[in-house]
Structure 1
Amino acid sequence: MGVLATVNVFRRRIMRGLTKNIGKSKRNLDILLVDKAEIKRVLICRPNARLGNLLLVSPLVQEVSEMFPNCKIDLFVKGPLAPIIYENYDTVYKTIHLPKKPFKNLLEYIKVWISIRRQPYDMAINVDQNSSSGRLAIIFSRAKYKFYGDLSDQHQQTKSDYDHIAKYPVYNFRNYLTKLGLAKSNKIIAPLDLKLSSSEFEEGKRILDKVTGNGLRRTICLFTYATGTKCLAEVWWEDFYKALKKEYPEYNIIEVLPIENVSQIAFQAPTFYSKDIREIGSLIANTDVFIGADSGMMHLASSVQTPTVGLFSVSELKKYEPYDNCSIGVNVLKYSKKDYFKVLNKILNNGKLKIYSRAV
């Protein structure tokens, strides 16, 4: 680990230690929310720039939008991806961007905090209770109702899927609303959703037909890359690809490439490369199954309602696995080829309607 990385890790530990108790002394001071129509402007804080982490906020955004249908939501984030991810969310009004390097962009950094302070939010919600910037944004805001992301000490969470990073913020938020006097929702938590438009979906089909050269066949989509130790070895992928071709000779098999433009199967399959995540999503939405390691691309596939097989070797499966639409996370250290094909056959035999059910 480099010097800068070490300093950054140390800085995060210090900030978490300093901010972990922010808001806890005010938990019992929350007033009752008599009329949900009172909530017209909401701040949701997830100061993170990664594709996967921003997509994983979408179930909470949907929850807030459904709970307060007349509200407008501002997202406090990092990086340029949030406006792209949430461009088809009518309730998302704007995104507020924290600079990645605050000390190099000090003026911009200060302006962000001023903008949060000036806006009279009705409610402010922190997604990750361990985010020091998120907790600070909540206390810095002038919102009447403030949720710091914590699960109440008096509340024991019994949901079997509570550990999932897209779900526990929703469960915690639902519990917070009961403290305000609202009835607790028991609805199934919404899936990740990029909200592709019907025109985007159709464009994805056109691109896929061009990549495969055979739009009449069903398509298996691979993503062979991942960062760090999450990336499976070339030997593993080449062996898997060889077995996949033998097992499914009647299918198109394509590979979506990462921004690094590398392939763990040496570009043996037809490939697609783009820096436009909505374009990538529209292509994946037209495939029958997506197979890839834990990554932002895996969550992107899940967000366009394509059945997704997440390959896990080091990440916490219960925390990050894809869900909904026949999706599943598998531990590659415990699965054999026979096990993979059982999973794939179940997904492929279930079939996928060639329409985008969530098109807007």
Structure 2
Amino acid sequence: MRAPLNPALVKRILVIKLRHIGDVLLTVPVFRALKETFPAAHCTALVNAGTEEVLRGNPLVDDILVFDRSIKGASLLRRYLGEASFYRSVRDRGFDMTVDLTSGDRPALLSFLSGARYRLAADPRGAGFIGKKHLYTHLAPVDGRRHMVLQNLDVVRHCGITTEDLSVDFFIPEEAKRFVRGIFEEHGIRDSDTVVHIHPTSRWFFKCWKDESMAEVIGWLVNQGIKTVVTSSPAQKEIEKTERILSLVPLHALPGALSHLVVLCGRTTLKQLGALSAAADLFFGVDSAPMHMAAAVGTPVLALFGPSGVPNWGPWDEQAPHAYGRKSGVQKTERHTVLQSDRECVPCGRDGCNGSKKSDCLESITVPEVEEALREKIGGMPKQHARPTRPTRFDGPIPKSI
């Protein structure tokens, strides 16, 4: 490692995370560590367009720069000119430190061309272009077996930048809270009702459970009188997949069962989605950004995992940062539960089996297994997470724990 950081020289910090929504959300503890170490510093996040909302409103983040990924599809000349202009705009901001949490080639160049005195990153260990590691001043060894929250913190902890508060915060504006209040009033959801928020899709379908199985579980919930709110992202392919799931839902056991089902496919912003999870008693879904958001607002999560590593990507619980100690199978924290096949090949990190975009390990999870886990989560709901206290969530800060 190079010379130690001089705090007096660190006034403007750029944190780079050019990944997806959930990845960006899990960087929040890094901003907290930076603010605790450099309380007077101005902290800016650099993220991909479409991911910035998960940091919006967070007092730990002073500013957000957005990188337009659509430039990747432009002609070579236009792409070169566009990226050069963006790099210049970053340099003009006069950052003293960059923290690269992306580990890609573009962030490495951005860090170097920013002109920052201190440039922190995880040791690339030979990944990327030749000489990439020389673009940084401080490289940290990162334990890839740990949760991404901890891996992100490893990058700065190596330089003495730490925090004891490992919580991931997702801030919800009043407008989003009003939206959810209106939805609940419109559908007659009362304080005494149990509400389950289901987000059945991911942007990557190899992370999705079988449509028929998801539909059966939704039907099982609503036929028991449980208020079930189903959402999807605004992406057309996810809306269509969710609509297909809903078309398969069996609604026959309980008269008026349809009244317990609320469908909001493609109708919510990220902030509204987070507000909905905060107002629910339980979030049920797959490995996705909404799963991470639900965990961030303190709502218990039941998640189905396929090829992804739960120790790296499981729903975060700051009270149990090392809880996911097995590589696969059923894993729990006090707050969250993850169901995953215990096949030897899990986790493989691939986009489906043999390039099929379908994950046999995920599809092997059975409906009875999921129903039993749901029964356990709903039946064991802590008193302080019961509906009578829910209105306070809309009048004050979102709770960090339950």
TM-score range, shorter chain: 0.7 to 0.9
| Other-structure match for 2:127 | none
Aligned with residue 337 of structure 2, among 318, 328, 339: 328
Aligned with residue 287 of structure 2, among 286, 294, 297: 294
| Other-structure match for 2:55 | 86
Residue 172 of structure 1 deviates from its aligned partner by: 2.8
- Distance change >3 Å, CA 345–CA 137, structure 1 → 2: same
Q: Deviations over 1:116-164 (max 9, x none)?
A: 22332111000033x111222122221111102238999685xxx9522
- Distance change >3 Å, CA 266–CA 224, structure 1 → 2: farther
| Other-structure match for 2:273 | 280
Do structure 1's residue 32 and structure 2's residue 1 form an aligned pair?
no
Do structure 1's residue 46 and structure 2's residue 17 form an aligned pair?
yes
- Structure 2: how far apart are the matches of 1:126 and 1:115? 17
Counterpart of 1:341 in structure 2: which amino acid? Answer: L
Q: State how 1:193-208 maps to structure 2 within 5 Å.
A: 193-197=169-173, 199-200=174-175, 202-208=177-183
Counterpart of 1:230 in structure 2: which amino acid? Answer: K
Three-state SS of the structure 2 residue aligned to 1:135 is helix
Aligned with residue 311 of structure 2, among 318, 326, 334: 318
Q: Does the 8 A contact of 2:141 with 2:155 survive in 1? A: no
Three-state SS of the structure 1 residue aligned to 2:71 is coil
Aligned with residue 156 of structure 2, among 161, 164, 173: 173
Residue 342 of structure 1 deviates from its aligned partner by: 5.5
- Structure 2: how far apart are the matches of 1:201 and 1:277? 9
| Other-structure match for 2:327 | none
| Other-structure match for 2:356 | none
Counterpart of 2:233 in structure 1: which amino acid? Answer: P
Three-state SS of the structure 2 residue aligned to 1:119 is coil
Counterpart of 1:282 in structure 2: which amino acid? Answer: A
- Structure 1: how far apart are the matches of 2:273 and 2:171? 13
Percent identity over the alignment is 16
Counterpart of 2:200 in structure 1: which amino acid? Answer: T
- Structure 1: how far apart are the matches of 2:70 and 2:380? 40
Do structure 1's residue 230 and structure 2's residue 199 form an aligned pair?
no
Counterpart of 1:140 in structure 2: which amino acid? Answer: L
| Other-structure match for 2:122 | 149
Q: Does the 8 A contact of 1:86 with 1:194 survive in 2? A: yes
Q: Does the 8 A contact of 2:148 with 2:312 survive in 1? A: yes
- Structure 1: how far apart are the matches of 2:140 and 2:227? 53
Aligned with residue 194 of structure 2, among 196, 218, 224: 218
| Other-structure match for 1:266 | 247
Residue 51 of structure 1 deviates from its aligned partner by: 2.0
Number of matched pairs:
315
| Other-structure match for 2:130 | none
Counterpart of 2:263 in structure 1: which amino acid? Answer: T
Three-state SS of the structure 1 residue aligned to 2:196 is strand
Higher RCO structure, 1 or 2 (CA under 8 Å, sep 6+): 1
Aligned CA-pair RMSD: 3.0
Q: Does the 8 A contact of 1:138 with 1:148 survive in 2? A: no
Residue 87 of structure 1 deviates from its aligned partner by: 2.2
The 10-residue stretch of structure 1 (148-157 or 62-71) with the greater mean CA deviation from structure 2:
148-157
Do structure 1's residue 125 and structure 2's residue 95 form an aligned pair?
no
Residue 329 of structure 1 deviates from its aligned partner by: 2.4
Q: Does the 8 A contact of 2:18 with 2:48 survive in 1? A: yes
Residue 72 of structure 1 deviates from its aligned partner by: 1.5
- Structure 2: how far apart are the matches of 1:124 and 1:89? 19
Q: Does the 8 A contact of 1:62 with 1:190 survive in 2? A: no
- Distance change >3 Å, CA 61–CA 213, structure 1 → 2: same
Q: Deviations over 1:265-309 (max 9, x none)?
A: 328532124242112221221111110011122222223322222
Q: Deviations over 1:95-115 (max 9, x none)?
A: 142433336142322111112
- Structure 1: how far apart are the matches of 2:34 and 2:17? 14
The 10-residue stretch of structure 1 (256-265 or 346-355) with the greater mean CA deviation from structure 2:
346-355
Do structure 1's residue 76 and structure 2's residue 46 form an aligned pair?
yes
- Distance change >3 Å, CA 186–CA 301, structure 1 → 2: closer
Q: Does the 8 A contact of 1:74 with 1:92 survive in 2? A: yes
* Structure 2 unaligned regions, length at least 5: 125-137, 250-260, 319-334, 342-363
Do structure 1's residue 99 and structure 2's residue 69 form an aligned pair?
yes
Do structure 1's residue 189 and structure 2's residue 166 form an aligned pair?
yes
Residue 338 of structure 1 deviates from its aligned partner by: 6.0
- Structure 1: how far apart are the matches of 2:291 and 2:269? 15
Residue 220 of structure 1 deviates from its aligned partner by: 0.9
Counterpart of 1:218 in structure 2: which amino acid? Answer: T
- Distance change >3 Å, CA 315–CA 347, structure 1 → 2: farther
Aligned with residue 59 of structure 1, among 21, 25, 29: 29
Q: Does the 8 A contact of 1:78 with 1:98 survive in 2? A: yes
TM-score of the superposition, structure 2-length normalised?
A: 0.69
